[in-house]
Amino acid sequence: MLDAARTTTEIRQADRIALYVALGPEPQTGALIDWLLAEGKEVLLPILYADNDLGWGLAPGAADLVPGRLGLTEPPIDLGESAIGTADLVICPAVAVDRTGVRLGRGGGSYDRALARVPAGVPIWAAVYDNEVLDSVPADPHDQLVHAALTPTRLIRLRSSG
């Protein structure tokens, strides 16, 4: 995923990027986080609240993350749920994404709530594997669209990006 991301205009232009710490089979983000920090970018990482909403904190470096809910690792300082609105680019996890930008998550609604706080015009990418970009996925009225799918091999622009 690092190679696919590092050549994009959005990554080069962004000062602050909201990302996530990969868990289990999700596309791995560790190398991307390390590279972004080495490039002088600020990286926001999620903090899972008891109500499944997300707060955000600045990544201090992988060694300085703390244990969070449900086996997640999180930044030690919570900047609040509105901090995602300060990101220049958002990269979120997904189970699948379709070519119109509908993102299928794990069903808890955490990211749909968080993505609703992202200002218009800020690019939102779903991190998925190449085979998880589908022609269609089920959609609900509360689903937040993504603009692109970031896979380990490429960035795929989706129709929601205009």
Q: Angle at Cα 91 formed by Cα 160 and Cα 89, nearest 5°?
A: 80
Q: Is 110 annotated as a binding residue?
A: yes
Tokens at residue 14, please? 């962004």
Which structural domains are found in the chain, ordered by start? 2-161 (3.40.50.10420)
Q: Is 129 annotated as a binding residue?
A: no
pLDDT tens digit string along 76-87? 899 999 999 999
Q: Is 132 annotated as a binding residue?
A: no
pLDDT for position 106:
82
pLDDT for position 2:
85
Q: Is 10 annotated as a binding residue?
A: no
Q: Is 107 annotated as a binding residue?
A: yes
Q: Is 30 annotated as a binding residue?
A: no
Q: Is 105 annotated as a binding residue?
A: yes
